[in-house]
Amino acid sequence: MAETPLIRGIGLTKAYGNLVALRDADLTVMRGEVRALIGSNGAGKSTLIKILTGAAAPTAGVVEIAGETAPLGDPKEMIRRGIACIYQHPNLTPAMSVLDNIFLGRQPTRRFGFVDRGRHRREALALVERHGIDIDVDATVGGLPTVKQKEVEILKALALDARVILMDEPTGWLAASEVVKLHATIRAMKARGVGIVYISHVLDEIFAVCDTVTIIRDGRVVAESAVADIDRLQVVHLMVGEKLARESAQAMHHKRNPRGSGEIRLSARNLTKHGVFKDVSFDLYAGEVFCITGLIGSKRTELVRTLFGSDHFDSGVLEVDGQPSTFANPSRAMARGIGFVPEDRRREGLMLDMTVNENLAMATLDRFQYGLLMSRSRMGQAGRRMISSLSIQPPDGARTVNLLSGGNQQKVLVGKWLNRAPRILILDEPTVGVDVGAKAEIYTILRRERDGGAAVLVVSSDLEEVMTVADRIGIMVSGRLVAIHDADAVHMNEVVREIGMGTG
Amino acid sequence: MSASGVVTLSLIRRQIASNALPIAILAIVLVFTMAQPAFISPDNLIGIVRQAALIGIMATCTTFVIMTGGVDLSVGPVLAASGLVSYYCLEANLPLILVILAGLSVGVLVGLANGAAIAILQLPPIIVTLAMLSVVRGSALMLGGPEQHLIRDKPEYTFIGAGNLFGLPFSIYVFALVALVMIFIQRRTPLGLLVAAIGDNERAAYLSGHCTRATKTLVYVISGLGAALAGIIQSSQVHTALATYGPFGTELDVIAAVVLGGTSITGGNGSVARTLLGVFFLGVVNDGMNILNVSIDIQLIAKGAIIIVALALAARGG
Amino acid sequence: MTLRPATAALILFFVAIVAFFCVTAPRFATASNAENLMSGFSFVAIIAMGEAFPIMVRGIDLSIGAIVGVVGMVVFDMAQILHVPGYVILPAALVVGTLAGALNGVLIVFLKLQPFIVTLATLAAFRGFTYAISGRQLVPGLTTTPITDPWIAGLETYFDLGGQLGLSKFVAMPWFPFSFLIMLALFAIFQMLALATRFGRDLYAVGGNKEAARLAGISTGGTIISAYAIAGFCAAVTALIMVARFTTSTEALGTGMELTAIAAAVIGGVSLAGGIGSMFGPALGAFLLGAVLLGLTLLGVPQFVQQIITGAILLAAVGYDRLLALRRQRRLNANLAEVS
């Protein structure tokens, strides 16, 4: 006789107008089961999660919890029935304390709704101790680093004493040691009978901690399997379909070009910003891709921002084309041929409500200007060229950028900078939230730029990406650049070791 | 209904949604004309546009401010102050061109102050322009006192607001010119694109190499200029300069016109042309209600209800 | 209770201002001036506290002055035309104000419109409604007949607490207006509500991160509607106090009060971004403005200069708040640097 699943989604469908995000999807989680949910971005994972947690109501389908049909689209009901979710982006109130956030909406009360402060604190401290998490419950959440905020999220979910915990890309911001801790916590919860849905695209983690896997592609569930019965290649094939999987594998075997043409485009000597990074020195050559990798918190983003003028270093010398330079703002850096694709494309890169053409032209507006006027038709022409060059889908320059998938949005962002034909192109985490297909296309674009003579600097935490695309690799640890290797002279394990060394 | 019928219906619905304002304006004109045929007489229509000119100039000039996610609550006192400054310049017998420049410079100065506080010090626009409202109103009262100042024997000046050219009030030509200039700036100059970009994502605009602080300051200067121009027109229209012109409520009428035109109060996409529609819509409604002798209470309630209904419908259809 | 730097600065500034005027303005440090301050600005403090609630949930209420007008006219009509007894008028007025505020909240939550726009529209609609129900012209002489109902007029009593407690033998004590005591009571109630109840936690949560609050199961709609209803309630109390003071009401009652309320709240450290603030700030902010205005009047400074100075204070307050925020950011960055 089959055991009743903790949670079961049957025939879940979600349509937003004409766009069908999820079609007839099924998902089951049993007691003590850790189920992986894999799919490219835009494949429908987030939609499925939103339905299961009540954050959104499906257009069709049913959700059963412990055998009983549950009301849909009501987060409070799902929480009451023991479904908790740790979302990708922190769902915390920055101005309130850790204590308040852990029990958000559920602080223990006495009569008349007065918060029972004593019990509140005792319960929170008990939680913190039980799970061995090191945190000050009175700290203001907004002042905590992202890693600690993630821990608050986990505490929040644990406080719910949930039967099923869904984790959406839980390790996105965690260091390797913290991932290990998280997996240990997951195994402990599993032993207590909690069901876990683990959404991730990091195959290593999935094969390390999950029991079963559900694969979603284009809004449909295309496969379900025990982790033991499937291998990585099969997973990737199922995720993206045959063609792209092959291209992605091929990408691993490209020729490396350390130090490119030998011409030094950018040179950093002892760059220091107090309390952020110290004595960073490296050379960037034309015709190479130099990847700086490291853990979150190693201050790579802070470093490259000072190269672009959106932030400033305190001491050291930066030379561009042999000339010492300090950039007071981005437009100065741009005048010297530097382009910068920022990490967060939605917050810092794109105008989401404007069209593809407008976004592509945003860094080159003067090219479409004569006197006081601006030529929209020339903007449209330039847009068409870039769209076709980067295979932006759909190939419609008048489409609002918000409607594009993550991968295509990233291509628009890159395209904006390519339009400037930069001599130095800096990209910060260029393929975060981008599906495997678009990733491969972006790598091809980077190689094209490199082969065209540009100096390309990529900041990336994705080791697979670094090993795929780098000609040389730099490793930053806690604000210091500790090593530089030629890509074909070093093994991934060595890189991993160096990244993990010298913490703090 | 057949599949093609459904598609046509949804197409029609979308057309209606995006053209809601002009349709609404036509509908209202029809309703009022049926109730009172004199509504559609050329005299009345010209009167509507003339009435709407003041708010219209201010609304077109403030559209950019709202597109950048800001707001300018100081337009009323600027209107009064510029009228006063023009009055004093006229009394000093300065040539007309200097009088006008002086009046407009009030708008520029206040706009620069607003812009500096908002763009450079990054203080919230509601509070800054609210404070400026107080400061400018107080300054206007200090300058001109609470008395009315009559503008006598200055025909070139009073022509601006009260004169006629080829049968139409001169102020309408001014309004039309301002509207055309602003529409041109929005559609055909980089400033227009930048304003929308800043409203959409200011950080991204900065990281694309644009000087967002300058642009933001500029939009407040433009808004101030609009209010100052309106002040010149009003004082020349009624031959009076008064420190309490542009009373509380003026700025809200201006904002209502912009918002009815479809620009979101939180910034982003917006259109000067559609602000004009908002202005005319309010103008037609106001005038119609006046002609029908609708009492002020119902007028106010209707105005509030219209704003809510219009925006709620827009939110649905969009 | 830890003091936020903004609050500490506010208190210091208030003390500094009072000290300044005590020294420079004749008759500032007198009992009668203290009375003026309390009677003239207690209702400002009340309406500022009311305005703080919508601002704390990341909204704004531009119609709060118009709600004062509506309630004032309701009181007038009930007292002078319908001759309803005062002990019915008082609760009725509170209900009307609360419902008007709730209407704002309902429109904002269910129509999903920006609070700025909704309350802009209700500003017009409520004011129109005030005109519509105005009975002032119905009977000749009504406009000049004072309201004499003891329940209402009683709101304008003064209590000689100094005399009763025997303190006036030592120092000249002001008589405390009832409105001041009402303000204190409301302050205590709302402060407790905000800081010590689950509703208060929910309020800050919705204001700080609405989506997180929603996902945590908090009823964001209910919280928002409650916040605007509280604002309406405070407007009603304000209207009652003002009507008692002027012994009548006009169609223009409350015009422009929303700007004063917002100013007092912002000076008091309530953040327009939501999620930050308490009742102490708006109340003190209102009295700070009051002290400045009274002091300047006593110094013979003309009205319009007072307006300019009010504007300048508002700018200074918000500038200082920004400075604090910048310093917080810098400290945060330093912390992150250490932790990495």
Closest to B135 (Cα-Cα) out of C310, C199, C171, A254: C310
Closest to A219 (Cα-Cα) out of A31, A19, A23: A23
Rounded mean pLDDT, A365-383? 87
Structural domain of C62: 5-331
A414 and A330 belong to one structural domain: yes
Q: Could you tell me which chains touch chain B, where touching means 3 or more CB pairs under 8 A?
A: A, C
Query: Could you give the 3-state DSSP secondary structure of residue A319?
Result: strand
Pick from A96, A112, A168, A174 the residue to mutate for testing the C interface (most C CBs within 10 Å). A96
Distance CA A460, CA A439 (A): 13
A138 and A181 belong to one structural domain: no
Distance CA A222, CA B126 (A): 52
Pick from C103, C315, C322 the residue to mutate for testing the B interface (most B CBs within 10 Å). C315
> Chain A residue closest to B194 (CA)?
A362
Pick from A350, A374, A377, A414 the residue to mutate for testing the B interface (most B CBs within 10 Å). A374
A 10 A CB-CB count for A332 gives 15
Q: Contact at 8 Å (CB) between B136 and B143?
A: no
A342 and A479 belong to one structural domain: yes
In a domain, C143, yes or no: yes
Q: Contact at 8 Å (CB) between A168 and A47?
A: no
Cα–Cα distances in Å, from A109 out to A116, A120, A195, A503, B137? 5, 9, 29, 42, 50
Which candidate from B122, B137, B252 shows the least CB-CB separation from C123? B252
Residue C121 pLDDT exceeds 70: yes
Q: In the predicted model, what is the mean pLDDT of chain B?
A: 88
Confidence band of A36 (pLDDT split at 50, 70, 90) = very high
A385 and A486 belong to one structural domain: yes
Q: Contact at 8 Å (CB) between B65 and B114?
A: no
Question: A104 and chain C: CB distance < 8 Å anywhere?
Answer: yes
Q: Which helix (H) or strand (E) holds B215?
A: helix B212-238
| Of residues C199 and A218, more confidently modeled | C199
**Residue B2's pLDDT is what?**
57
List of E strands, A321-414: 323-324, 338-341, 369-370, 373-374
Q: Contact at 8 Å (CB) between A257 and A234?
A: no
Structure tokens at A98: 């850790």
How many angstroms separate the CA of residue A458 from the nearest CA in chain B?
Answer: 17
Confidence band of B79 (pLDDT split at 50, 70, 90) = very high
CATH number assigned to the domain comprising residue C242: 1.10.3470
Structural domain of A71: 1-82+162-240
Distance CA C244, CA C150 (A): 10
Confidence band of A242 (pLDDT split at 50, 70, 90) = low
Q: In the predicted model, what is the mean pLDDT of chain C?
A: 87
In a domain, A156, yes or no: yes
What b-and-e string marks burial along A304-322, b requiring 16 or more CB atoms within 10 Å of the CB?
bbbbbbbeebeebebebee
> Chain A residue closest to B210 (CA)?
A331
In a domain, A252, yes or no: no
Distance CA C186, CA C181 (A): 9
Residue A160 pLDDT exceeds 50: yes
Distance CA A365, CA A331 (A): 12
- Residue C120 and residue B124: Cβ atoms within 8 Å? no
A156 and A174 belong to one structural domain: no
A16 and A124 belong to one structural domain: no
Q: What share of chain B is helix, strand, coil (3-state, %, to 5)?
A: 80, 5, 20
In degrees, rounded to 5, the angle at the alpha carbon of residue A394 between the alpha carbons of residues A392 and A400 is 95
Query: In chain A, which residues have their Cβ closer than 8 Å to the Cβ of C204?
Result: 93, 95-96, 100
Residue B318 pLDDT exceeds 50: no
Confidence band of A424 (pLDDT split at 50, 70, 90) = very high
Q: What sign for the dihedral angle of Cα B258, B262, B266, B267?
A: negative
Rounded mean pLDDT, A137-146? 81
How many angstroms separate the CA of residue C102 from the nearest CA in chain A?
Answer: 21
The verdict on whether omega for the bond into residue A394 sits within 30 degrees of 0, i.e. cis, is yes
Confidence band of A504 (pLDDT split at 50, 70, 90) = very low
For chain A, how many helices (H) and strands (E)? 17, 22
How many angstroms separate the CA of residue A325 from the nearest CA in chain B?
Answer: 17
In a domain, C340, yes or no: no
Q: How many structural domains are present in chain A? A: 3
Angle between helical axes of A376-390 and A406-418 (0-180°, round to 10)? 120
Structure tokens at B124: 């919230």
The chain C residues in contact with chain A (CB within 8 A) are 196-202, 204-205, 208-209, 211-219, 275-276, 328, 331-340
> Chain A residue closest to B209 (CA)?
A331
**Residue A5's pLDDT is what?**
87
- Residue C304 and residue B132: Cβ atoms within 8 Å? no
List of E strands, A200-256: 212-217, 220-226
ipTM value: 0.83
**Residue C340's pLDDT is what?**
38
**Residue B6's pLDDT is what?**
63
Which candidate from A334, A342, A358 shows the least CB-CB separation from B209? A334
Confidence band of A179 (pLDDT split at 50, 70, 90) = confident
Query: Could you give the 3-state DSSP secondary structure of residue B155?
Result: helix
How many angstroms separate the CA of residue A27 from the nearest CA in chain B?
Answer: 33
Distance CA A470, CA A468 (A): 6
pLDDT digits (tens, 9 = 90+) for B177-192: 999 999 999 998 999 9
Residue B152 pLDDT exceeds 90: no
Rounded mean pLDDT, C130-154? 81
How many angstroms separate the CA of residue B194 from the nearest CA in chain A?
Answer: 9
In a domain, C220, yes or no: yes
Confidence band of C275 (pLDDT split at 50, 70, 90) = confident
Q: Which helix (H) or strand (E) holds A8?
A: strand A7-16
- Residue owning tokens 């070093």: A490
Q: In the predicted model, what is the mean pLDDT of chain A?
A: 85
Structure tokens at B162: 């009260």
Q: How far is CA C165 from the centre of its chain?
A: 29
Q: What share of chain C is helix, strand, coil (3-state, %, to 5)?
A: 75, 0, 25
**Residue C137's pLDDT is what?**
73
State what percent of residues in chain A have pLDDT above 70: 92
How many angstroms separate the CA of residue A151 from the nearest CA in chain B?
Answer: 29
Distance CA A317, CA A176 (A): 33
Rounded mean pLDDT, A62-68? 89
In a domain, C338, yes or no: no
In degrees, rounded to 5, the angle at the alpha carbon of residue B242 between the alpha carbons of residues C129 and C63 is 25
In a domain, C337, yes or no: no
Which candidate from A330, A352, A365 shows the least CB-CB separation from B207? A330
Last residue of a domain, one of A161, A184, A203: A161
**Residue C1's pLDDT is what?**
43
- Residue C263 and residue B315: Cβ atoms within 8 Å? no
Distance CA C302, CA B142 (A): 9
Task: Mark residue A294 as left, alpha or beta (left: phi above 0; alpha: psi -120 to 50; beta: remaining).
Answer: left
Residue B4 pLDDT exceeds 90: no
Q: State the Rg of chain B over Cα.
A: 20
Pick from C58, C330, C340 the residue to mutate for testing the A interface (most A CBs within 10 Å). C340
State what percent of residues in chain B have pLDDT above 70: 93
Question: A314 and chain B: CB distance < 8 Å anywhere?
Answer: no
Q: What sign for the dihedral angle of Cα A24, A30, A36, A41?
A: positive
Q: Could you tell me which chains touch chain C, where touching means 3 or more CB pairs under 8 A?
A: A, B
Q: What share of chain A is helix, strand, coil (3-state, %, to 5)?
A: 40, 25, 35
Q: What sign for the dihedral angle of Cα C106, C112, C114, C118?
A: negative
Query: Could you give the 3-state DSSP secondary structure of residue A105?
Result: coil
Query: Could you give the 3-state DSSP secondary structure of residue A35?
Result: strand
A140 and A1 belong to one structural domain: no
The span from the first CA to the last CA of chain B, in angstroms, equals 24
Residue B265 pLDDT exceeds 60: yes
**Residue A474's pLDDT is what?**
92
Question: A91 and chain C: CB distance < 8 Å anywhere?
Answer: yes
**Residue A1's pLDDT is what?**
46
- Residue C208 and residue A94: Cβ atoms within 8 Å? yes
In a domain, A249, yes or no: no
| Beta pairing partners, A266 | A284, A320
The DSSP symbol for A68 reads E
**Residue B32's pLDDT is what?**
85
A56 and A107 belong to one structural domain: no
pLDDT digits (tens, 9 = 90+) for A204-219: 788 889 999 999 887 8
**Who's near A162: CB < 8 A, 6+ residues apart?**
A82, A83, A84, A194
Rounded mean pLDDT, C242-270? 89
pLDDT digits (tens, 9 = 90+) for A382-408: 999 999 999 898 888 999 998 888 889
A13 and A73 belong to one structural domain: yes
| H helix runs in chain C, sequence order | 5-24, 31-56, 64-76, 86-111, 115-133, 150-153, 161-164, 178-196, 198-208, 210-215, 220-246, 257-267, 280-298, 303-339
How many angstroms separate the CA of residue C274 from the nearest CA in chain A?
Answer: 9
> Chain B residue closest to A349 (CA)?
B204
**Residue B252's pLDDT is what?**
84
**Residue C9's pLDDT is what?**
82
Question: A109 and chain C: CB distance < 8 Å anywhere?
Answer: yes
Rounded mean pLDDT, B45-69? 92
- Residue A353 and residue B204: Cβ atoms within 8 Å? no
**Residue A502's pLDDT is what?**
42
Residue type, A461: S
Q: Could you tell me which chains touch chain A, where touching means 3 or more CB pairs under 8 A?
A: B, C
Q: How far is CA B123 from the centre of its chain?
A: 23
Q: Which helix (H) or strand (E) holds B196?
A: helix B190-207
**Torsion angles phi and psi, residue B36, rounded to 5:** -150, 95
Pick from B71, B297, B313 the residue to mutate for testing the C interface (most C CBs within 10 Å). B297
> Chain A residue closest to C273 (CA)?
A95
Query: In chain B, which residues have their Cβ closer than 8 Å to the Cβ of A366?
Result: 190
In degrees, rounded to 5, the angle at the alpha carbon of residue A52 between the alpha carbons of residues A48 and A58 is 65
- Residue owning tokens 């209702």: C43
Q: How many structural domains are present in chain C? A: 1
Query: In chain A, which residues have their Cβ closer than 8 Å to the Cβ of C331?
Result: 143
> Chain B residue closest to C121 (CA)?
B304
A329-338, A366-375, B118-127: least confidently modelled range: A366-375
Question: A330 and chain C: CB distance < 8 Å anywhere?
Answer: no
- Structural domains of chain B ordered from first start: 49-317 (1.10.3470)
In a domain, A248, yes or no: no
How many angstroms separate the CA of residue C52 from the nearest CA in chain B?
Answer: 14
- Residue C132 and residue B134: Cβ atoms within 8 Å? no
**Residue C32's pLDDT is what?**
85
Distance CA C287, CA C44 (A): 8
A297 and A230 belong to one structural domain: no
A153 and A175 belong to one structural domain: no
pLDDT digits (tens, 9 = 90+) for A258-289: 888 888 999 999 999 887 888 999 999 999 99
In a domain, A375, yes or no: yes
A74 and A98 belong to one structural domain: no
Confidence band of A247 (pLDDT split at 50, 70, 90) = low
Pick from C192, C211, C215, C329 the residue to mutate for testing the A interface (most A CBs within 10 Å). C215
